[in-house]
């Protein structure tokens, strides 16, 4: 079967079905808690029913067969004839996985794979007997007759009939044939008279001839039957003349007309019927565009949205430019116009951003299932509490944040929440709670993953880090408890002695942290031993527009992502100290290492170099790199600016320390600094 993933109707189906499948994933997990909620059962039933309907429309039989069985099963459930249990839910969730895989095939332009026969059998067994086990054999042997089966049987029969014009009645039921074969023939004769072969639409021309090789029957027909073919034709003419059946090409619908037309393939009326139908059809398809009415949404390729976003980005730049220029002109009217322009541009920008927004539900929707499966595998009892699923963020971000979040949730289930026994012993309820929340805070989104599990022991973390050689014992001693938690983000850190299947091997929290940092986001961990762990992830609303701090270094402008900026202060470099071979400034009684960006620019090696010029009042931008606050020494801080990130050209592409460039308000180019990678790469020389 040919699948065209661009086909509008298929797309329409996939979009709607995807939504249903996502909802089903959540509903099924909910069902495990509230197995007798009839609204829930009804809506799961309808979900599979609707997908089956659409799949049937498109002739996607593998999809139909799995949805059909699941639908049947839920029909029993909602009628109270079966009870949901773990066994049943496992099969249904598998069925949902199969449906998901089939959708993926379709999206890739592949015909969907048939569901595993063993799953279909299991579903049938559940329908017939309520369990998979006892009925595995009988279920297989006696599947419920479905519409499909009937269709297949019918198709087979049709094939048989068209292959062999011989009467089939005789071979149909041998027992009966033995006793009354005469009647069989008579039936055949009847059939031939009433529904002569000549009338069958789509039957090849030769089939329209009377059956060859049964002259006796023909003769018999002619003899016995009072009604002649002429009369049949007359009847046909009469009926046809009334115009009752116009537009029916094969005439079977309104039964009679052509159906009764016997062996008269060349008769004018019969011949004219299909012709009429074909004339009708095109006329019909040219029908007015009334079909358009009622549509309230259109599908837009995300590439097009990206283009629009880019253009809006350019517009923002031009606006910034004009705003800057305007400061120089200083005319009242111009100022007003520019203010208006700013307003409109901001509105446009947020409107366009909204078109790209998707609820975080897209990611959160997977968690009920994920947590359920994990809990089952780990022998734990976990209640998932989700809040703020409707919080919107940029589509690209939704996709990008998905894997890190899944990893964090796995971690919480695996390492955080204890087994029921352990919890009981600790005086906690058997069931652990995992809270997932999302909310918008200004220009970023705050995602919280909190469990009420065992928590993390900061001392154990420190010991572990030292044992693994990640930090030395002396540094470990100096770490506060809060800082100790951040140790788990160090590469190669894993707190669990035995690496379980669940939360990765080696790909640890450091990868999660890196991924989130790439999204200009942050992650923060807090834990109280015995009471649980809370992870806070912030990500910007969008990736396309970046709030930055503009700074000047050696006469050049640079943009630093605001997400990492903590504070800005001025300092007298002569009052700084050198600790451990690194110049540091003491802020609130803590030493903060300083980095001199001009050294990176000018490639000046050495510790103190020429930095003593005008050192009495330098600006320091304090930023977070990992868990460490560092100070970047710059010449001037120019202010906040929202910039549109432009990728660097191929020559500069992949250069560490830079994420891209942007056009600033004064029309010049500013490079956007990627601080973590800058420090990682050049930290020793700065």
Partner 1 sequence: MPKVRVLVVDDSGFFRRRIRELLTADPDIEVIGEAADGREAVSQVCALHPDVVTMDIEMPVLDGISAVREIMRRQPTPVLMFSSLTVEGARATLDALDAGAVDFLPKRFSDLASDSNTAQLRLQQRVKGVARPVGSSRRAAADVVEAPPMRGTARDGRQFRPQAVVIGASTGGPVALQKVLAGLPAEFPYPVLLVQHMPANFTSAFAQRLDGLCALRVREAADGDALVAGEALLAPGGQHIGMVSRGDRLSVKLLPSKPGQFYKPSVDIALASAADACAGKVLGVVLTGMGSDGAEGARRLRQGGGMVWAQDEASCVIYGMPRAVVQAGAADRVIALTDIGAALQRLGR
In the region spanning residues 273 to 292, those forming contacts with partner 1, defined by CB under 8 A, are 277, 280-281, 283-285, 287-288, 290-291
Binding region for partner 1 (CB under 8 A) out of 255-263, 363-371, 388-396, 601-609:
255-263
Candidate residues 216, 226, 298, 333; the one interacting with partner 1 per rule CB under 8 A: 226
What is the radius of gyration, based on Cα positions, of the chain? 37
Q: What string marks each residue from 178 to 217 as x (binds partner 1 by CB under 8 A) or -?
A: --x--x--xx--xx-xxx-x-xxxxx--------------
Candidate residues 81, 172, 390, 399; the one interacting with partner 1 per rule CB under 8 A: 172
Closest CB 149 distance from partner 1, rounded Å: 10
Q: Does the footprint of partner 1 cover residue 21 (CB under 8 A)?
A: no
Closest CB 354 distance from partner 1, rounded Å: 22
Candidate residues 4, 104, 164, 253; the one interacting with partner 1 per rule CB under 8 A: 253
State how far the Cα of 222 lies from the Cα of 216, in Å rounded to an integer. 10
Candidate residues 1, 101, 176, 425; the one interacting with partner 1 per rule CB under 8 A: 176
State how far the Cα of 19 lies from the Cα of 15, in Å rounded to an integer. 7
**Cβ partners under 8 Å of residue 373, min gap 6:** none
Site for partner 1 in 25-44 (CB under 8 A): 42-43
β-pairing verdict for 556-561 and 669-673: parallel
Of the candidates 355, 276, 283, 270, the one whose C-alpha atom is nearest the C-alpha of residue 312 is 355
Candidate residues 7, 23, 30, 53; the one interacting with partner 1 per rule CB under 8 A: 53
Closest CB 183 distance from partner 1, rounded Å: 4
Residue 646 DSSP label: B
Residue 204 sits at the vertex; the CA angle it makes with 202 and 208, to the nearest 5 degrees, is 100
With 0-12 CB in 10 A as exposed, 13-18 as middle and 19+ as buried, what is 108?
A: exposed
Question: Residues 391, 440: contact at Cβ < 8 Å?
Answer: yes
Binding region for partner 1 (CB under 8 A) out of 6-14, 525-533, 590-598, 673-681:
6-14
Closest CB 16 distance from partner 1, rounded Å: 5
Closest CB 22 distance from partner 1, rounded Å: 15
Closest CB 290 distance from partner 1, rounded Å: 6
Q: Does the footprint of partner 1 cover residue 300 (CB under 8 A)?
A: no
State how far the Cα of 256 lies from the Cα of 245, in Å rounded to an integer. 9
State how far the Cα of 239 lies from the Cα of 256, in Å rounded to an integer. 8
Candidate residues 59, 330, 379, 555; the one interacting with partner 1 per rule CB under 8 A: 59
Q: Does the footprint of partner 1 cover residue 235 (CB under 8 A)?
A: yes
Closest CB 159 distance from partner 1, rounded Å: 9
Question: Residues 529, 456: contact at Cβ < 8 Å?
Answer: yes
Candidate residues 166, 250, 403, 457; the one interacting with partner 1 per rule CB under 8 A: 250
Binding region for partner 1 (CB under 8 A) out of 242-250, 448-456, 539-547, 565-573:
242-250
Site for partner 1 in 142-171 (CB under 8 A): 144-147, 150-151, 154, 157-158, 161-162, 168-169
With 0-12 CB in 10 A as exposed, 13-18 as middle and 19+ as buried, what is 277?
A: middle
State how far the Cα of 679 lies from the Cα of 632, in Å rounded to an integer. 10
Which CB atom, from 232 or from 367, has the smaller least distance to partner 1? Answer: 232
Which CB atom, from 201 or from 448, has the smaller least distance to partner 1? Answer: 201
Residue 415 DSSP label: I
Candidate residues 46, 140, 515, 536; the one interacting with partner 1 per rule CB under 8 A: 46
Site for partner 1 in 73-132 (CB under 8 A): 75
State how far the Cα of 470 lies from the Cα of 611, in Å rounded to an integer. 33
Which CB atom, from 55 or from 546, has the smaller least distance to partner 1? Answer: 55
State how far the Cα of 655 lies from the Cα of 517, in Å rounded to an integer. 17
Using the structure block, give the residue that is written with the tokens 């897209």. Answer: 362
Binding region for partner 1 (CB under 8 A) out of 251-259, 400-408, 481-489, 512-520:
251-259
Question: Hey, what are 629's tokens?
Answer: 């606050």
Residue 412 DSSP label: I
Using the structure block, give the residue that is written with the tokens 């780990």. Answer: 378
Q: Does the footprint of partner 1 cover residue 72 (CB under 8 A)?
A: yes
Element (H, E) at 257: helix 256-260
Which CB atom, from 151 or from 347, has the smaller least distance to partner 1? Answer: 151
Of the candidates 82, 66, 49, 62, the one whose C-alpha atom is nearest the C-alpha of residue 121 is 66
Which CB atom, from 154 or from 640, has the smaller least distance to partner 1? Answer: 154
Site for partner 1 in 257-276 (CB under 8 A): 257, 259-260
**Cβ partners under 8 Å of residue 82, min gap 6:** 73, 76, 88, 126, 130
- What is the sign of the dihedral through the CA atoms of 367, 372, 376 and 380? positive
Binding region for partner 1 (CB under 8 A) out of 100-108, 233-241, 377-385, 443-451:
233-241
Q: Does the footprint of partner 1 cover residue 408 (CB under 8 A)?
A: no
Using the structure block, give the residue that is written with the tokens 């004339």. Answer: 279
Percent of the chain that is helix, strand, coil (3-state, to 5): 50, 15, 30
Other C-beta atoms within 10 Å of 414: how many? Answer: 19
Site for partner 1 in 437-496 (CB under 8 A): none
Binding region for partner 1 (CB under 8 A) out of 246-254, 309-317, 320-328, 591-599:
246-254
**Cβ partners under 8 Å of residue 152, min gap 6:** none
* Beta-bridge partners for 538: 446, 522
Which CB atom, from 238 or from 608, has the smaller least distance to partner 1? Answer: 238
> With CB under 8 A, what is the number of residues at the site for partner 1?
81
Candidate residues 130, 210, 211, 255; the one interacting with partner 1 per rule CB under 8 A: 255
Closest CB 289 distance from partner 1, rounded Å: 9
State how far the Cα of 671 lies from the Cα of 469, in Å rounded to an integer. 37
Candidate residues 25, 112, 139, 249; the one interacting with partner 1 per rule CB under 8 A: 249
């Amino acid at each position: 079967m040919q699948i065209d993933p661009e086909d509008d109707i298929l797309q329409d189906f996939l979009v709607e079905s995807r939504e249903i499948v996502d909802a089903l994933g959540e509903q099924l997990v909910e069902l495990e808690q509230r197995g007798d909620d009839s609204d829930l059962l009804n809506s799961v039933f309808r979900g599979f029913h609707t997908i089956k309907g659409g799949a049937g429309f498109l002739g996607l039989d593998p999809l139909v067969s799995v949805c059909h069985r699941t639908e049947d099963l839920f029909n029993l459930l909602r009628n109270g004839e079966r009870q949901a249990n773990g066994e049943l839910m496992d099969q249904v969730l598998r069925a949902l996985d199969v449906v998901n895989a089939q959708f993926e095939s379709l999206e890739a332009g592949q015909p969907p794979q048939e569901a595993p026969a063993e799953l279909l059998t299991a579903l049938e067994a559940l329908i017939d007997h309520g369990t998979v086990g006892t009925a595995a054999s009988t279920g297989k042997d006696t599947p419920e007759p479905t519409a499909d089966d009937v269709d297949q049987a019918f198709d087979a029969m049709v094939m048989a009939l068209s292959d062999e014009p011989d009467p089939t009645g005789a071979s149909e039921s041998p027992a009966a044939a033995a006793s009354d074969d005469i009647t069989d023939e008579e039936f055949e004769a009847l059939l031939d008279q009433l529904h002569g072969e000549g009338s069958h639409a789509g039957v090849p021309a030769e089939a329209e001839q009377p059956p060859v090789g049964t002259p006796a029957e023909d003769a018999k027909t002619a003899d016995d039957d009072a009604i002649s073919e002429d009369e049949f034709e007359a009847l046909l003419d009469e009926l046809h003349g009334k115009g009752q059946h116009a537009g029916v090409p094969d005439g079977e619908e309104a039964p009679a007309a052509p159906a009764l037309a016997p062996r008269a393939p060349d008769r004018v009326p019969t011949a004219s019927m299909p012709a009429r139908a074909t004339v009708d059809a095109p006329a019909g398809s040219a029908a007015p565009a009334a079909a358009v009415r009622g549509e309230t949404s259109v599908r837009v390729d995300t590439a097009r949205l990206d283009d629009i976003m880019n253009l809006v980005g350019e517009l923002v730049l031009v606006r910034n430019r004009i705003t800057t220029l305007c400061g120089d002109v200083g005319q009242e009217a111009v100022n007003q116009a520019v203010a208006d322009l700013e307003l409109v541009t901001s509105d446009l920008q947020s409107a366009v951003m909204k078109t790209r927004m998707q609820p975080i539900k897209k990611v959160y929707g997977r968690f009920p299932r994920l947590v359920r499966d994990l809990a089952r595998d780990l022998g734990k009892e976990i209640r998932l509490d989700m809040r703020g699923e409707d919080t919107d963020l940029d589509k690209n971000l939704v996709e990008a944040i998905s894997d890190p979040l899944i990893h964090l949730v796995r971690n919480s289930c695996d390492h955080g929440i204890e087994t029921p026994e352990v919890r009981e012993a600790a005086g906690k309820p058997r069931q652990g709670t995992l809270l997932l929340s999302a909310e918008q805070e200004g220009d970023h989104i705050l995602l919280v993953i909190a469990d009420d599990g065992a928590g993390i022991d900061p001392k154990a973390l420190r010991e572990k880090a030292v044992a693994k050689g990640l930090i030395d014992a002396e540094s470990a001693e100096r770490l506060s408890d809060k800082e100790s938690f951040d140790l788990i983000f160090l590469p190669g850190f894993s707190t669990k002695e035995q690496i379980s299947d669940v939360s990765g091997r080696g790909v640890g929290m450091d990868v999660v942290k890196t991924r989130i940092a790439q999204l200009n986001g942050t992650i923060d961990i807090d834990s109280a031993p015995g009471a649980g762990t809370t992870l806070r992830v912030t990500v910007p609303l969008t990736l396309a527009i970046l709030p930055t701090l503009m700074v000047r270094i050696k006469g050049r402008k640079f943009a630093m992502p605001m997400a990492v900026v903590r504070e800005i202060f001025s300092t007298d470099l002569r009052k700084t100290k050198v600790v451990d071979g690194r110049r540091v400034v003491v802020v609130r009684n803590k030493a903060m290492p300083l980095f001199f960006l001009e050294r990176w620019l000018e490639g000046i090696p050495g510790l103190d170099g020429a930095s003593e010029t005008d050192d009495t009042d330098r600006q320091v931008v304090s930023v977070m790199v990992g868990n460490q606050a560092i100070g970047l020494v710059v010449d001037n801080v120019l202010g906040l600016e929202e910039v549109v990130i432009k990728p660097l050209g191929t020559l500069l592409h992949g250069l560490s320390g830079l994420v891209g460039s942007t056009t600033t308000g004064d029309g010049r180019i500013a490079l956007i600094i990627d601080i973590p990678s800058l420090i990682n790469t050049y930290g020793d020389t700065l």
